[in-house]
Chains A and B, each alone.
Chain A
Amino acid sequence: MANGGKSSKVVRYNRWGYYFLIPFTAAYVIFQLIPLIDTVTQSFFENYRSGLKQIGPNFIGLANYVKILSSGDLWQYAKNTMIIWLIGFIPQIIISLLLAAWFTDPSLRLKGQRFFKTVIYLPNLIMASAFAMLFFTLFSDNGPVNSILMQLGLISTPYKFFSHVAASRCLVGFMNFLMWFGNTTILLMAGMLGIDQSLFEAAEVDGATPNQIFFRITLPLLRPILVYVIITSLIGGLQMFDVPQILTDGTGDPARTTMTMIMWLNKHLYSKNYGMAGALSVLLFIITGVLSLIVFRLTKTDTDR
């Protein structure tokens, strides 16, 4: 009797669990799953507008994919995206690790921690587009940065930041770095605070240097959070759009070297070319999946050892 009563109670609780999942599932199906399936279907159709004329939808099989893959543009833009992401991400992860280690190190007793944590997070609160506009003005040919450099006598004529490949890519990377290093710092700090303090104390007693503690204790134990940070940042990086879009006014100048994959996708929406855009989205999905898997695998073998 008592047993039966207990088990039925458990079942009832389970059912409540499912009820609570309904809103999420419904929202997921309506706003994610259906559009996802629709995107895949669209990618097999010719469907666009020329002026006011609607062309399609006509089923054309894999023609959209063939067109994208044969032109080779996708790889160019994928390369751009990865380069810009790395320019932003490498300094981001180094500085974030450093800051997180300092903030969580009890022996440093940093003052004004709350203030600095807020300040480093602030750039993330600004709209990326506003931030890009600001940089566009700062680094324009006759902008403040050029006048400062000229007054210092470092250059004699304005340096055209947006006409040089490295300069424009670095600007985009730098802005992404500024916007996201605070966020990463806070994530890594959470990870570091989760590490058992007694390990650090034991290491100190054994005479380990701060460097040894960082590389031998903090980093290995931080791995799950690091993997999370790298994968989320990678996915975010692959979907990079707003900063380069606004900074280059959608052109991806100079010579389309700052054109990211999503910017290219956006180009197809001018003519409401859902077929090509759909095919491109599916390819992007595959690229993202493959890259994430690689990162995941690389880090997993390490932890298994």
Chain B
Amino acid sequence: MKKKLVSIMMASTMVAGVLAGCGSSSGGAASTQASSDSTQAAAADTQAAAADTEAAADTSAASADEGKVLNIQCWNTEFQSRITDHYPGYEKVDDTTGKIGDVTVKWHITPSDDNAYQNNLDSILPDNESASADDKTDLFLMEADYAKKYVNSDVTMNIADLGITDDQIADQYQYTKDIVKDESGNLKGLSWQAASAGLIYNRQAAKDVLGTDDPDKVQDAVSDWDKFNSLAEKMKAKGYTMCSVNDTYRVYSNNVSGPWVQDGKVVVDDNIKKWADDSKTLADKGEENTYELWSDDWAKGKYPDGKVFCYFGPAWFFNFSLAADDASSIAAKGGWGYVQGPQPYYWGGTWIAAATGTDNPTLVKDIMLKITTDPDIMKEIAQKDSDCVNNKTVLKELASDDSGNLALLGDENPYAMLAEGADKVDMSNISDYDQGCNEEFQTAMKGYFDGSYKTYDDALAAFNKAITEKYPDVTTD
């Protein structure tokens, strides 16, 4: 009896701990995508059966003289559910295996937490060519924050070497290509998502403060940072918090004039410095909070009592990060609106890359083309999974009629703005060190906003210290 009691107590405490973990995860796009998977996975099974029979023929020919196992490295089941639902001829065998024709597809899922996904890639990719045929990694996924690390190395294949031509990917947005171009301009990956993002505002707050919730009028009030900051003051007067300082970070950091690391030295761009200055002012006046993204405190703004004016996010944010399935949330009542906000930016997105040494190049090419260029499949993805797909034509179609209206945005159709935003995103200044620099800069500046560092320079010194720990080959001022 006593033992039982003890074990129950232990179990419940641990469960409490695990639940606590959900709330405080600090990852970026990866964690949202993870949360989206559970919803999608359920739907995945139903479509899979239908897709089976259609087109086993087109792929079986291709793989005749190639490897019998297609190994895919990924960090969650998002891509798996896209393949299961939308790739013709894919048969699901169990949670980590599938079949395309007579090729077995093996999914190797390593979560992103604590850098585990990249550590895994780092240990297998350099030796991929000499691995035995069935163990060779053929395809892997990457996120923008660290894509350059793999793109600028020999472990990823040139897309052109797979036989994919520029014409075939002409409908994709330029920024999705810039992120995965190596130093000599070779394209090394493709994405089916164009995650251009904007400002998602609380319509009630807009009515209270601006007297209107019309997207055009709201956009006028937030069209640059000066207007944004003066609106924050008015919001505060009516009891609203503008947003978290961490919400705006990516908007600033996507609009820089040079990469983080130049000639081996860390350079803090003026726009990033501006983020720190603006945020410090707003946080000190209590007009913005300093909550971490994805934290419980941050999430309270998704409900009317949270009294938060806006979030920043792309299309995937609408469905998976605004608690739309909770009846008491603002989203459930259609209480959000979408505008482009002060500066164009993007957030998240997954790129597909071919691993050097793959023994299934034809199949890899076909998967890439079908998922990232086929207009029918991409429209299916947009409608079923609410991805903002990386295809100009499909987005134009969605923007042109009511099929792109979203209930949680009060039936606003955001696709025209999303498409326009994707056109404007400029990611030519991305570097190998972005992930570490962005994370450490935000961590250091949080100390500045909270007052643990007295001055910006103290916080900057802490940032420099953290960067040299992470990247011993980089120098700082």
Interface residues of A (CB under 8 A from B): 48-53, 55, 73, 118, 122, 125-127, 129-131, 133-134, 136-137, 140-143, 160, 163, 165, 249, 251, 253-257, 264, 267-268, 270-271, 273, 276
Contacts A136-B24, A163-B452, A253-B452 known; A118 to B17 CB distance under 8 Å? no
From residue 457 to 477 of chain B, which have CB atoms closer than 8 A to chain A? 458, 462, 465-466, 469-473
Known contacts A51-B152, A142-B300, A163-B451; A268 and B469 CB within 8 A of each other:
yes
| Number of inter-chain CB pairs below 8 Å | 106
Question: Which B residue's beta carbon lies closest to that of A163?
Answer: B450
Supply 12 A–B pairs (Cβ within 8 Å), ascending by A.
A73-B465, A122-B6, A126-B17, A127-B17, A130-B17, A131-B17, A134-B20, A136-B24, A137-B19, A137-B23, A249-B24, A270-B470
Contact A254 B452 (CB under 8 A): yes
How near does chain B come to A154, taking the closest CB pair, in angstroms? 20
A133 and B26 CA atoms in complex are apart in Å by: 13
Q: Chain B residues near A142 (CB, 8 Å)?
A: 296-297, 300
A245 to chain B, nearest CB (A): 10
Segment touching A, from B8-16, B168-176, B269-277, B374-382: B8-16
Query: Shortest beta-carbon distance, A147 to chain B, in Å?
Result: 12
A267 pairs with B453, CB closer than 8 A: no
Is there an interface contact between A118 and B2, defined as CB atoms closer than 8 Å? yes
Query: Which of chain B's residues 285-317 have a Cβ closer than 8 Å to chain A?
Result: 291, 295-297, 300
Flag if B9 contacts A122 (CB, 8 Å).
yes
Q: How far is it, in angstroms, between the C-alpha of A36 and the C-alpha of B446 when the chains are bound?
A: 38
**Once the chains bind, are A51 and B452 in contact (CB under 8 Å)?**
no
B453, closest chain A residue (CB)? A255
Asked whether B150 is an interface residue with its Cβ less than 8 Å from the other chain, the reply is yes
Asked if A122 and B10 sit within 8 Å, CB to CB, the answer is yes
Interface assignment of B18: CB less than 8 Å from any CB of chain A: yes
User: Which residues of the partner chain B approach A125 to less than 8 Å between Cβ atoms?
Assistant: 6, 10
Q: Is the CB of A48 within 8 A of B472?
A: yes
How far, in whole Å, are A249 and B113 apart by their CA atoms in the complex?
A: 11
A contact residues around B14 at 8 Å (CB): 126-127, 130
**By the criterion CB–CB under 8 Å, are A130 and B13 in contact?**
yes
Give 1 or 0 for each of B434-455: 1 = CB within 8 Å of chain A CB.
Answer: 0010000001001100111100
Q: Which of B1-51 contact A (CB under 8 A)?
A: 2, 6, 9-10, 13-14, 16-21, 23-24, 26
Contact present for A255 and B462 (CB under 8 Å): yes
Residues of A near B58 (CB, < 8 A) are: none
Q: How far is the CA of A53 from the CA of B125 in the complex (A)?
A: 12
The answer to whether A51 and B149 touch across the interface, beta carbons within 8 angstroms, is yes
CA distance A124 to B470 in the complex (A): 33
Q: Is the CB of B17 within 8 A of A133?
A: yes
- A130 touching B18 in the complex, CB below 8 Å, given contacts A137-B296, A142-B296, A255-B462: yes
Which 8 pairs from chain A and chain B are nearest by CB?
A130-B17, A254-B452, A255-B452, A137-B20, A163-B450, A133-B20, A51-B149, A52-B153
- Report if B155 contacts A (CB, 8 A): yes
Indicate if the CB atoms of B18 and A133 lie closer than 8 Å: yes
Give bound CA distance, A131 to B15, whole Å. 10
* Alpha-carbon distance A72/B443, docked complex (angstroms): 21
Q: Is the CB of B153 within 8 A of A51?
A: yes
Cα of A52 to Cα of B436 in the assembled complex, Å: 14
Give the total of B residues in contact with A, Cβ under 8 Å.
47
Seen from chain B, the residues whose Cβ lies within 8 Å of a Cβ on chain A are 2, 6, 9-10, 13-14, 16-21, 23-24, 26, 115, 122, 125-126, 149-150, 152-153, 155, 291, 295-297, 300, 432, 436, 443, 446-447, 450-453, 458, 462, 465-466, 469-473
Cα(A126)–Cα(B10), bound, Å: 7
Let me know if B447 and A254 touch, CB within 8 A.
yes
With A50-B471, A52-B150, A142-B300 known, 8 other A-B pairs at CB within 8 A are A52-B153, A134-B16, A137-B20, A140-B24, A140-B296, A254-B452, A255-B452, A270-B469
Residues of B within 8 A of A268 (CB): 469
Complex formed: what's the CA distance from A160 to B286 in Å? 14
Q: Which residues of chain B are within 8 angstroms of A273 by Cβ–Cβ distance? A: 469, 472
Q: Which of B17, B300, B458 contacts A129 (CB 8 A)?
A: B17
Minimum CB–CB distance from A268 to chain B (whole Å) comes to 6
Pick from B21, B26, B152 the residue with the most CB of A within 10 Å.
B21
The smallest beta-carbon distance between B357 and chain A, in angstroms, is: 14
Majority SS at the chain B contact face:
helix
In whole angstroms, how far apart are the Cα atoms of A50 and B470 in the complex?
9
How near does chain A come to B227, taking the closest CB pair, in angstroms? 28
From A133, A165, A257, A271, contact of B471 by CB (8 A): A271
Minimum CB–CB distance for A122 against chain B, Å? 7
Are A271 and B149 in contact, with the CB atoms below 8 A?
no
Chain B residues closer than 8 Å to A48, beta-carbon distance: 472-473
User: Smallest Cβ distance from B392 to chain A, in angstroms?
Assistant: 32
Residue of A nearest to B289 (CB): A141
Q: Please tell me which one of the listed residues A55, A118, A140, A276 contacts residue B297 in the complex, with CB atoms under 8 A apart.
A: A140
In angstroms, how far is the closest chain B Cβ from the Cβ of A280?
A: 11
CA distance A129 to B16 in the complex (A): 12
Q: How far is the CA of A52 from the CA of B14 in the complex (A)?
A: 37
Bound-state Cα–Cα, A50 to B18, Å: 33
Nearest CB of chain B from residue A266's CB, rounded to whole Å:
10
**Interface pair B443/A253, CB less than 8 Å apart:** yes
**Alpha-carbon distance A133/B20, docked complex (angstroms):** 6
Q: A49's contact among B122, B295, B446, B447, by CB below 8 Å, is which?
A: B122
> Which residues from B are CB-within-8-Å of A73?
465
Q: Is the CB of A249 within 8 A of B149?
A: no
Shortest Cβ distance from B152 into A: residue = A51
**A90 CB to nearest chain B CB (Å):** 25
A142 to chain B, nearest CB (A): 5
Contact A52 B17 (CB under 8 A): no
* Smallest CB gap from B156: residue in A: A52
Task: Tell me whether B17 and A51 are in contact (CB under 8 A).
Answer: no
In whole angstroms, how far apart are the Cα atoms of A51 and B121 in the complex?
Answer: 11
Q: Are B450 and A51 in contact (CB under 8 A)?
A: no
- Residue from A127, A133, A271 in contact with B472 in the complex, judged by beta carbons closer than 8 Å: A271
Judging by beta carbons under 8 Å apart, are A254 and B153 in contact? no
| Cα separation A270 to B473 with both chains bound (whole Å) | 13
Could you say which of B13, B122, B453, B472 contacts A134, with CB atoms under 8 Å apart? B13
Once the chains bind, are B447 and A255 in contact (CB under 8 Å)? yes
Write the nearest CB–CB distance from B459 to chain A, whole angstroms: 8
Docked-complex contact A271 and B470, CB < 8 angstroms: yes
**Are A52's CB and B125's CB within 8 A?**
yes
Q: Among B17, B451, B471, which residue has the most Cβ atoms of chain A within 10 A?
A: B17
B149 touches A137 (CB 8 A): no
Chain A residues contacting B9 (CB-CB under 8 Å) are 122
Assess whether A160 is in contact with B450, with CB atoms less than 8 Å apart. yes
